[in-house]
C-alpha cells in the first residue's frame, strides 16, 4: 500500500489538471473558440473534397516527373485537409487578434493551431522512416508528446509514469524509465543503421578489399554498431549494466545446451569469411549441388544453380564436408570430353580435326590450347579424350561441352569421319543345328 500512495497522488494530480482544462472549456469565450475550430475543420474538409480531385487529375498529366517529386506531391495530397486546417486556424488567430485585444479570446485558437502545425510537421518528418509499422509508432508517439507539451501536461504525465514503478531492492523500474530507454535506444539504433548502411555501401564498392572480407567487415561493423547502440541507450537512461551479467550467463548456458547447431553455423561462417575458402561469385560443387555462391550469411551460404534454384547450405557443411571450388585460386577450369571414331579413320587426322573444332568454340581458351589423345582401342571404336580450358565457369559447364560436341559433329561430318555404334558379328560353326521357332500361331509349320 505504501508503494501505491505516490501513484495515486500523481494520478490524482493528473486528473486534477485535466479537470481544470475541462472547466476552462465551459467558459463562453472558450466555447466560442471551440465552435470556430469545428467550423474551420468542416471548411477544410469541404475544400479538400473540392480541390483533391482536381489535383489528382493534374498529377496524372505529370507522368514524366522524377519519382521523388511525385511522392512529395502524393504526401501533400494525403495531408491536404491538415494543411488547409492549419492555414485557416492561423488566419483565424490573426483575425481574432485584430478584432479583440484580449489574449484569452484567442488563446485556445493559438494552442490548437500550434498543435496542428506540430502534428503536420511530424507527419512530414516521419516519412523518412521506411518501415510502415515503425513509422506509425514514431508518428503517434511524437503526436502525443507535442500535444502534452503545448498543453503543459508533460510534467504531470511524467510524474505519473515515474510513480508507476516496481522496486527490486535498490533497483527502481518505472514506466517512465522504460519509455525513455525505448526512445533513446531507438534513436541510437536509427543512427547505427544509417552509419551501417553508409559504411556498407562504401565497403561493398571498394575494389581494394576481397569479397569475403567485405562481407566480414560489414557483419562485424553491424554487430559493433548495434551492440553499442543498445548498451549506450540503456546506460543513457540510467540502467545498471552490471545486472546484465546474470542474463549473459543464462544466454551462454542456453547456447551451450540448446543452440549448438546455430552457434556452430555462426562460428563456421566467421571461419569461412576469414580463411577466404569461398566467396561470393565462386562456382562450387557440394554433393549433387552445383552452382555459384550468391551471398554469404551468418548461418548459411546461398548457392544458385543453373536451373534457378537457390540452395541455403549451412556453413557447418562447408567446413566439415568436401567442397569443390571451381574458382578458388583462379577461374581456369579444364573440361574433358570422351568420344570414339571408326577404325577406318586415321587417328592423326582425327586428333587434328578435334583440336581445330574445339578451338573454334568462343568460350574455349586459345592461350591454353586444347589437346586430344588416344586413350584406348575399344570393341567398336578408337577411343579419344579431348581436353580444353575455359575461364568463366559461372557461365556454365554443360553448355560449353554441348557446343564442343556440336563442333566435333560438324567437323567429322565435313571430313567423312564416322562415329561408330556397337556392332556384333555372329558366326555359325559347321554342323551347328538351327532351330526355327514359330512366332505366330496362325502360321503353318514349314514342310
- Contacts of residues 347-356 at CB distance under 8 Å and 24 or more positions apart, as own/partner, are 347/374, 347/382, 347/384, 349/415, 349/417, 350/382, 350/384, 350/417, 351/384, 353/411, 353/412, 353/415, 353/417, 354/384, 354/386, 354/408, 354/411, 355/386, 356/411
Averaged pLDDT for residues 370-385: 91
Number of domains in the chain: 2
CB-neighbour burial class of residue 382 (10 A; exposed 0-12, middle 13-18, buried 19+): buried
For residue 299, what pLDDT is reported? 79
CATH number for the domain harbouring residue 375 = 3.30.70.100
For residue 3, what pLDDT is reported? 47
Averaged pLDDT for residues 189-208: 76
Asked whether residue 8 is domain-assigned, the answer is yes
Distance of CA 437 to the CA centre of its chain: 73
For residue 441, what pLDDT is reported? 57
CB-neighbour burial class of residue 109 (10 A; exposed 0-12, middle 13-18, buried 19+): buried
Averaged pLDDT for residues 393-420: 89
CB-neighbour burial class of residue 6 (10 A; exposed 0-12, middle 13-18, buried 19+): middle
Distance of CA 69 to the CA centre of its chain: 26
Among residues 100, 133, 163, the one where a domain terminates is 163
Tens-digit pLDDT profile for residues 25-67: 556 666 777 777 788 888 888 888 888 777 777 767 766 677 7
Averaged pLDDT for residues 67-80: 74
Q: Give the confidence band of 4 by pLDDT, cuts at 50, 70, 90.
A: very low
Tens-digit pLDDT profile for residues 427-436: 777 777 767 6
CB-neighbour burial class of residue 203 (10 A; exposed 0-12, middle 13-18, buried 19+): middle
Among residues 111, 131, 163, the one where a domain terminates is 163
Domain range for 71: 4-163
For residue 269, what pLDDT is reported? 77
Average pLDDT, the chain: 76
Cell 491538415 found at: 82
pLDDT over 50 (residue 185): yes
Asked whether residue 252 is domain-assigned, the answer is no
Q: Which of 165, 163, 145, 164 is nearest to 154 (CA)?
A: 145
Asked whether residue 141 is domain-assigned, the answer is yes
pLDDT over 90 (residue 175): no
Q: Which of 109, 111, 55, 48 is nearest to 82 (CA)?
A: 48
Cα–Cα distance for residue pair 414/410, rounded to 1 Å: 6
Q: Give the confidence band of 373 by pLDDT, cuts at 50, 70, 90.
A: very high
Asked whether residue 98 is domain-assigned, the answer is yes
Asked whether residue 74 is domain-assigned, the answer is yes
pLDDT over 70 (residue 18): no
Residue 219, beta-bridge partner list: none
pLDDT over 90 (residue 375): yes
Among residues 128, 163, 198, the one where a domain terminates is 163
Asked whether residue 10 is domain-assigned, the answer is yes
Amino acid at each position: 500500500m505504501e508503494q501505491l500512495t505516490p501513484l495515486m497522488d500523481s494520478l490524482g494530480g493528473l486528473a486534477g489538471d485535466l479537470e481544470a482544462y475541462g472547466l476552462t472549456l465551459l467558459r463562453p469565450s472558450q466555447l466560442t473558440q471551440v465552435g470556430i475550430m469545428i467550423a474551420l475543420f468542416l471548411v477544410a474538409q469541404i475544400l479538400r473534397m473540392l480541390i483533391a480531385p482536381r489535383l489528382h487529375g493534374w498529377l496524372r498529366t505529370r507522368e514524366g516527373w522524377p519519382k521523388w517529386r511525385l511522392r512529395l506531391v502524393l504526401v501533400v495530397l494525403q495531408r491536404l485537409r491538415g494543411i488547409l486546417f492549419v492555414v485557416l486556424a492561423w488566419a483565424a488567430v490573426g483575425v481574432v487578434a485584430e478584432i479583440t485585444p484580449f489574449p484569452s479570446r484567442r488563446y485556445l485558437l493559438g494552442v490548437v493551431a500550434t498543435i496542428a502545425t506540430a502534428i503536420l510537421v511530424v507527419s512530414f518528418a516521419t516519412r523518412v522512416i521506411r518501415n510502415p509499422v515503425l513509422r506509425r509508432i514514431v508518428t503517434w508517439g511524437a503526436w502525443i508528446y507535442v500535444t502534452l507539451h503545448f498543453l503543459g501536461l508533460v510534467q504531470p504525465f511524467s510524474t505519473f509514469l515515474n510513480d508507476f514503478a516496481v522496486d527490486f531492492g535498490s533497483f527502481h523500474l518505472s514506466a517512465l524509465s522504460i519509455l525513455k530507454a525505448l526512445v533513446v535506444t531507438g534513436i541510437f539504433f536509427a543512427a547505427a543503421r544509417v552509419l551501417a548502411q553508409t559504411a556498407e555501401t562504401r565497403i561493398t564498392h571498394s575494389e581494394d578489399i576481397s569479397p569475403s572480407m567485405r562481407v566480414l567487415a560489414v557483419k562485424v561493423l553491424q554487430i559493433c554498431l548495434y551492440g553499442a547502440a543498445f548498451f549506450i541507450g540503456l546506460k543513457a537512461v540510467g540502467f545498471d549494466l552490471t545486472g546484465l551479467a546474470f542474463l549473459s550467463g543464462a544466454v551462454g548456458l542456453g547456447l551451450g545446451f540448446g543452440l549448438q547447431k546455430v552457434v556452430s553455423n555462426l562460428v563456421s561462417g566467421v571461419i569461412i569469411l576469414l580463411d577466404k575458402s569461398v566467396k561470393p561469385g565462386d562456382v562450387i560443387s557440394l554433393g549433387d549441388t552445383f552452382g555459384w555462391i550468391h551471398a554469404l550469411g551468418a548461418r548459411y551460404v546461398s548457392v544458385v544453380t543453373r536451373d534457378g534454384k537457390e540452395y541455403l547450405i549451412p556453413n557447418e557443411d562447408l567446413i566439415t564436408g568436401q567442397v569443390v571450388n571451381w574458382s578458388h585460386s583462379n577461374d581456369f577450369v579444364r573440361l574433358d570430353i570422351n568420344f570414339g571414331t571408326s577404325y577406318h579413320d586415321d587417328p592423326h587426322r582425327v586428333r587434328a580435326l578435334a583440336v581445330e573444332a574445339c578451338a573454334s568454340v568462343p568460350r574455349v581458351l586459345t592461350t591454353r590450347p586444347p589437346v586430344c589423345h588416344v586413350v584406348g582401342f575399344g570393341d567398336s571404336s578408337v577411343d579419344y579424350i579431348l581436353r580444353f580450358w575455359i575461364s568463366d565457369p559461372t557461365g556454365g559447364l554443360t553448355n560449353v561441352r554441348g557446343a564442343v560436341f556440336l563442333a566435333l559433329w560438324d567437323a567429322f561430318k565435313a571430313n567423312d569421319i564416322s562415329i561408330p555404334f556397337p556392332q556384333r558379328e555372329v558366326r555359325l560353326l559347321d554342323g551347328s543345328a538351327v532351330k526355327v521357332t514359330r512366332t505366330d500361331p496362325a502360321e503353318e509349320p514349314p514342310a
